[in-house]
Amino acid sequence: MHGHVPIDQFQASAVLTLAADEGSGAGGLRIFAALLVLSALALMVTSKSFYRFQRNRLTARYMSGGWLAVLIGFLLGRWGANVVTEEMLLEVRPALTFGLGWIGAIIGLQARSALLRAVPTAVRRWVFVDALVAIVLIGAVSVALLSGSMRQTGFAWWIAPVGLLITTGIGWAAETRSLGEERSPAGMHLAVLVQAGAGLAAMVAVMIQGLLILLPTRADGGEVIISFSTGGLRLLATAMLAAGVGFVGRYLLQQAGRERRELFVVYIAMIALISGIASELGVSPLFAAMLCGIVITNLGGPKLREFDRFVLRAEQPVAILFGLLAGVFVDPRIGLWGWMLIIALTLLRLLVKVPLMRWSLAEYQPALPERSPLFLAPMRQSLVAIALGVAVIVDEASEMNQELLTIVLLVGALSELLPFLLAWWRRDGASTTASKHAHATGAGA
Amino acid sequence: MKTLPRLIAVWLMLLVAVGTLRSLTPGYGARRYLDAMDRPFTAPDFDLVATSTALAFLLLGAWLTGKVFKLLLLPRITGYLAFGVLVGPSFISLVAPNVNPLLPQAQMDHLRIFSSLAIALIGLTAGGEIKIDLLRRGIKQVLGMMGLVILAVLSTVFIGLFLGRSMLGFLAELPRMELIVVCLMVAVLATSNSPAVLVALLSELRAKGPMSETSLAITVVKDLVVVVLFTVASGLGYSLLHANGETASQGSLVKDLAWHLLGSIAAGALLGALMSTVLHHLSRHMLLFVLAMSLGIVLVSESAHFETLLVALSAGFILSNMWPDRSAELFHSVEELSLPVYCIFFAIAGAKIDLAALAHLWPLALAIVVMRSIAVWGGITLGGRLFSMPAPARNWVWTAFIPQAGIALALAASIESLFADFAWGVSLSSLLLATIAIFECFGPILLRLGLIKAGEATG
């Protein structure tokens, strides 16, 4: 309750705002300012005027991958202008949980059974092997490089950090236009395969992270332990919750009728409910919302299709917002182990992902353009990696998780650059060879 | 016919689900942990983690209750308020003091941001609804009816309380000067009504007609006048009771008031112009824009000590009257966002209703309710007749001025703060809260009836 106001401090303007100011203060205002800056920037970056910067292929790639947003977020954050800090963002943690739920729903809604059945076996095999390779290779490299810096040796402590590096290593960016895709039917077909694989891999990554996070739990003393019973219960509760929200959501959408604002209430409530309850239970909101999205998309019905469209309509601003958030959470004080991880994980993407794609799609090879830049697509990190990194911080806002997010982001940024350099080098090499050939032919003539 | 039982079944399922969840996950405070590299960090407290569920719970629960109330021919916003009352801390502490509420105070505090955004959106909607042509045509009617209703309420409540003091609880024991101040403050607070309830009900019932237009215009202008009245009265009351030579400087009071009111209007106009410029370049993600602008309105208002509702009203008014084409899509998006906003805003308002104060002070509160209702009816009906308002609107327009909510609550909190060093400060504040609670509950029901009877809504 407010105290007595001395007469010399009596201000008319303060009278009405006294009640409104309750519990806000300067901290509250700064949070409002931070949210305003983030949403204004998200609007700016997704505006049409901003698209002119995408004419250049490299800038297009960095913008479509969300890296520009990450950079802006970093410049706004503690290490830049200090306008938006991680403390402010953690104060609005429920909003972040809601955002993660939204992303989870976007991923899950792609899992319509008819659509999944249409994905060629080769692509499914590609995603499966990619995930397997990530688990084995990235897992091994991460354990080896993290062991120097980890003070806790129990297996349970390793699950979350290694799990994050593995799951962010699974899959690739779905966006292919900025790579300069082929206009030929074969090139377009390859682009579709890349996109289908990216969608599937995103589901696999969220699923693995969701399942991994179920197991470790904090004991009363604060130490991390593995509890299969808690994990099992959490999994059961999540599955029931996803199914329950899906089925009840269908009924509620029918009740909402045709009015958009009624539908809007149900949409928001469904996402907030699933992500909120998941985070209370210690389950990844991304995972729970993805399961719910899978249930909804497979229940069918015109109302649920509208839910699909509604959720997907906000895909771009949500992605940009998460890019900005990730940028704010970046902690550049990563030690030697961090840089070694960045180099190792980037090299792994470079050396493993491209041959794996060629091997997996071998049966399509004759029909595909041999030197298509689309073959470099799997090197680019998936946008979902940003959400996975932010999710870990929303769960536990530790310095270590911030450093891990920084590593994931830097691997992603480098992975964007490398295919561009390779494509440029290839083109340069090809044009040099062609000119030499032309020169030689001319000399011969 | 099966809809009602099904809705109630889903509603009960929601309550049971959240109740079970709350019993499974007992609350905890913020904790310090070590990460795998042995560096400490703070894990958030349970209430912050649970706020996302609380948001969904309030939204869905209020929406479902509103649907049930609609089937029972009651206003939906009464349903939102009722749901808030049911799950809020006040109700449970009355009926089962040892049980934790489904929506604890700490989670309500975390949801404060949504209340602030709701006020901005309600203001934008109300401002957008007022057309300059209507004001030009009916300015005499608006000012005349407003003057009459304020005068009627002020005089009736003041005189009624003063004369009936011996029968009215703690008022009987007050010295004369303090009694005058208390009567004055209650009377001034009684002049306020709720723009939020009015806007929400007009939107819910899609009401159109002279009663809707006039009541909205009067409410908006009255909001300004009430702020002036309250500031003057509280300054005067404060000076009267602190008679040891301390008086609030009249010059500073006027300057402050001017800054507060004119500043709010000017800031709103500037924000409206800014919004119009951005709208010119914006072709998509309108909902995000509305959200950003609402944040901007709240930020500007709170940091400069302006009134959020006034700033938003002014911005909405400028936008809809100066750039009607450019802002059409914006108001469409505001309309889209309105229902979730109302659900959360009124459910939180309901959860804040102090039932203990109501249970304790209901006879005195009821006396004020009766006096204010009669005064509102008399003042506005007389105004309607004098300023040639068409029937049947003039017979029912008084119902628009009965509901009280947000502004009245803010004024009550200010009164408590200003007179905190008097023994009756808390009693007065509790009395005001009890009165507002009654108006909050039956005001929307009466307004819905009024709009239907005036032929401006079908219900």
ipTM: 0.82
Q: Which of A92, A149, A268 sits opposite B59 (nearest CB)?
A: A268
Residue A260 at interface with chain B, using a CB cutoff of 8 Å: yes
Burial class (CB in 10 A: 0-12, 13-18, 19+), B34: middle
Q: How far apart are the C-alpha atoms of B299 and B303, rounded to whole Å?
A: 6
Q: Are strands B40-43 and A224-226 parallel, antiparallel or unpaired?
A: unpaired
* pLDDT at residue A65 in the model: 65
Residues in chain B: 459
Mutate which of B49, B52, B60, B432 to disrupt the A interface (most A C-beta within 10 Å)? B52
Chain A, 355 to 384: residues with Cβ < 8 Å from chain B are none
Chain A hits for B20, CB-CB cut-off 8 Å, are none
Chain A's closest residue to B253, CA to CA, is: A12
Angle among Cα B290, B294, B298 to the nearest 5 degrees reads 175
Average pLDDT over residues B182-208: 88
Q: How far apart are the C-alpha atoms of B414 and B398, rounded to whole Å?
A: 27
CB contact under 8 A, B413 and A2: yes
- Using the Cα atoms of residue B352, residue B356, residue B361 and residue B362 in order, give the sign of their dihedral: positive
- H/E segment holding residue B167: none
Mutate which of B28, B35, B297 to disrupt the A interface (most A C-beta within 10 Å)? B35
Split at pLDDT 50, 70, 90, the class of A202 is very high
What is the DSSP secondary structure assignment for residue A172, as one 8-state letter?
Answer: -
Nearest residue to A159 via CA among A73, A232, A218: A218
Q: Is A176 helix (H, G, I), strand (E, B) or coil?
A: coil
Q: Range of A375's domain?
A: 98-315+333-409
CB contact under 8 A, A35 and B39: no
User: Which one is predicted more confidently, A436 or A392?
Assistant: A392
Q: What interhelical angle do A185-214 and A384-395 show, nearest 10? A: 10
- The dotted CATH code for B114-345+356-453 is 1.20.1530.20
Angle among Cα B380, B437, B451 to the nearest 5 degrees reads 40
Give Rg (Cα) of chain A. Answer: 24
* Percentage above 90 pLDDT, chain B: 26
CA dihedral A167, A171, A174, A179 (to 10 degrees): 120
Mean pLDDT over the full length of chain B? 85
Residue A82 pLDDT exceeds 80? yes
Chains A–B, number of C-beta pairs less than 8 Å apart = 250
* pLDDT at residue B1 in the model: 58
- H/E segment holding residue B4: helix B3-24
Q: Which of B3, B37, B246 sits opposite A400 (nearest CB)?
A: B37
* pLDDT at residue A445 in the model: 39
Chain A hits for B343, CB-CB cut-off 8 Å, are 265
* pLDDT at residue B250 in the model: 55
B303 CA: distance to closest CA in chain A (Å)? 7
Chain A, 122 to 161: residues with Cβ < 8 Å from chain B are 149-152, 157-158, 160-161
| Structural tokens at position B328 | 């059409």
User: Which one is predicted more confidently, A96 or A34?
Assistant: A96
Residue A308 at interface with chain B, using a CB cutoff of 8 Å: no
The reply to whether A53 falls in a domain is no
Chain B's closest residue to A98, CA to CA, is: B52
Q: Is B392 helix (H, G, I), strand (E, B) or coil?
A: coil
Residue A19 pLDDT exceeds 60? no
Nearest residue to A38 via CA among A5, A7, A82, A69: A69
Split at pLDDT 50, 70, 90, the class of B379 is very high
A395 CA: distance to closest CA in chain B (Å)? 8
Residue A5 pLDDT exceeds 80? no
| Structural tokens at position A336 | 């030697």
Burial class (CB in 10 A: 0-12, 13-18, 19+), A395: buried
Average pLDDT over residues A337-344: 93
Q: Which of A43, A91, A276 sits opposite B289 (nearest CB)?
A: A43
Q: How far apart are the C-alpha atoms of A380 and B388, rounded to whole Å?
A: 72
Residue B185 pLDDT exceeds 90? no
Q: Which of B13, B21, B238 sits opposite A10 (nearest CB)?
A: B238
- Using the Cα atoms of residue B165, residue B171, residue B173 and residue B176 in order, give the sign of their dihedral: negative
Chain B's closest residue to A35, CA to CA, is: B295
Q: Would you say B197 and B77 are in contact if contact means Cβ atoms under 8 Å apart?
A: yes
User: Which one is predicted more confidently, A267 or A29?
Assistant: A267
Q: Please state the φ and ψ torsions of residue B33, each to the nearest 5 degrees.
A: -125, 170
Split at pLDDT 50, 70, 90, the class of A26 is low
| Structural tokens at position A28 | 């509250």
Q: Which of B44, B248, B281 sits opposite A90 (nearest CB)?
A: B44
- H/E segment holding residue A226: strand A224-226
Residue A401 at interface with chain B, using a CB cutoff of 8 Å: yes
- For residue A337, give Cα distances in angstroms to A142, A350, A386: 10, 20, 21
Residue A282 at interface with chain B, using a CB cutoff of 8 Å: no
Residue A59 pLDDT exceeds 70? no
* pLDDT at residue B57 in the model: 93
Residue A210 pLDDT exceeds 80? yes
Q: How far apart are the C-alpha atoms of A145 and A142, rounded to whole Å?
A: 5
Split at pLDDT 50, 70, 90, the class of A376 is confident
Residue A58 pLDDT exceeds 80? no
Q: How many CB atoms lie within 10 A of CB B324?
A: 12
Q: How many CB atoms lie within 10 A of CB A121?
A: 8
CB contact under 8 A, B238 and A98: no
Average pLDDT over residues A68-90: 87
pLDDT in tens, A140-156: 999 999 888 888 878 88
Residue B308 pLDDT exceeds 50? yes
The reply to whether A130 falls in a domain is yes
Chain B hits for A264, CB-CB cut-off 8 Å, are 336-337, 339-340
Strand-pairing partners, residue A225, are: A217
pLDDT in tens, B280-300: 877 678 888 888 888 889 888
Q: Which of B67, B235, B336 sits opposite A10 (nearest CB)?
A: B235
Chain B's closest residue to A268, CA to CA, is: B56
- Extents of the domains making up chain B: 114-345+356-453
What is the DSSP secondary structure assignment for residue A221, as one 8-state letter?
Answer: T
Chain A, 39 to 98: residues with Cβ < 8 Å from chain B are 39-40, 42-43, 46-49, 90-95, 97-98
Q: Please state the φ and ψ torsions of residue B40, each to the nearest 5 degrees.
A: -75, 150
What is the DSSP secondary structure assignment for residue A167, as one 8-state letter?
Answer: H
Residue A16 pLDDT exceeds 50? no
Q: Which of B48, B248, B292 sits opposite A7 (nearest CB)?
A: B248
Q: Are strands B40-43 and A216-218 parallel, antiparallel or unpaired?
A: unpaired
Chain B hits for A320, CB-CB cut-off 8 Å, are none
Chain B's closest residue to A101, CA to CA, is: B52
| Structural tokens at position B207 | 């009401």
Residue B156 pLDDT exceeds 60? yes
Residues in chain A: 445
CB contact under 8 A, B55 and A12: no
pLDDT in tens, A405-416: 999 999 999 988
Chain B hits for A3, CB-CB cut-off 8 Å, are 417, 420
Q: Which of B21, B34, B339 sits opposite A264 (nearest CB)?
A: B339
Picking from A111-115, B250-254, B291-295, which range would have the lowest pLDDT averaged per residue?
Answer: B250-254
Q: Which of B51, B227, B263 sits opposite A16 (nearest CB)?
A: B227
Q: Would you say B278 and B185 are in contact if contact means Cβ atoms under 8 Å apart?
A: no
Residue A137 pLDDT exceeds 90? yes
CB contact under 8 A, A10 and B57: no
* pLDDT at residue A24 in the model: 46
Nearest residue to A252 via CA among A237, A238, A270, A240: A270
What is the DSSP secondary structure assignment for residue B31, as one 8-state letter?
Answer: E
The reply to whether A441 falls in a domain is no
Q: Which of A10, A24, A33 sits opposite B248 (nearest CB)?
A: A10
Nearest residue to B17 via CA among B70, B78, B68, B60: B60
Q: How far apart are the C-alpha atoms of B342 and B63, rounded to whole Å?
A: 9
Residue A322, Cα to own-chain centre: how many angstroms? 8
* pLDDT at residue A375 in the model: 81
Split at pLDDT 50, 70, 90, the class of A429 is low
What is the DSSP secondary structure assignment for residue A300, as one 8-state letter?
Answer: -
Residue B59 pLDDT exceeds 90? yes
Q: How far apart are the C-alpha atoms of A203 and B429, rounded to whole Å?
A: 55
* pLDDT at residue A36 in the model: 80
Nearest residue to B223 via CA among B189, B192, B196: B192
Q: How far apart are the C-alpha atoms of B186 and A374, rounded to whole Å?
A: 74
User: Which one is predicted more confidently, A414 or A421?
Assistant: A414
CB contact under 8 A, A19 and B234: no
Residue A240 at interface with chain B, using a CB cutoff of 8 Å: no
Q: How far apart are the C-alpha atoms of A405 and A342, rounded to whole Å?
A: 11
Chain A hits for B79, CB-CB cut-off 8 Å, are none
Mutate which of A5, A10, A45, A283 to disrupt the B interface (most B C-beta within 10 Å)? A10
User: Which one is predicted more confidently, A70 or B358?
Assistant: A70
The contacts of residue B424 (CB under 8 Å, 6+ apart) are: B170, B174, B178, B182
- Using the Cα atoms of residue A165, residue A169, residue A174 and residue A178 in order, give the sign of their dihedral: positive
Q: Look at chain A and report how many structural domains it folds into.
A: 1
Q: Please state the φ and ψ torsions of residue B384, each to the nearest 5 degrees.
A: -60, -40
| Structural tokens at position A276 | 């909120």
Alpha helices in A176-301 (DSSP H): 185-214, 228-256, 260-281, 285-299
pLDDT in tens, A272-316: 999 999 998 889 999 999 999 999 888 877 777 777 777 777 888
Q: How far apart are the C-alpha atoms of B33 and A396, rounded to whole Å?
A: 9
The reply to whether A5 falls in a domain is no
User: Which one is predicted more confidently, A69 or A31?
Assistant: A69
Q: Please state the φ and ψ torsions of residue B86, each to the nearest 5 degrees.
A: -65, -40
CB contact under 8 A, A265 and B60: yes
Nearest residue to A325 via CA among A95, A106, A48: A95
CB contact under 8 A, A261 and B338: yes
- H/E segment holding residue B108: helix B105-110
CB contact under 8 A, A23 and B230: no
* pLDDT at residue A330 in the model: 93
Q: Is B387 helix (H, G, I), strand (E, B) or coil?
A: coil
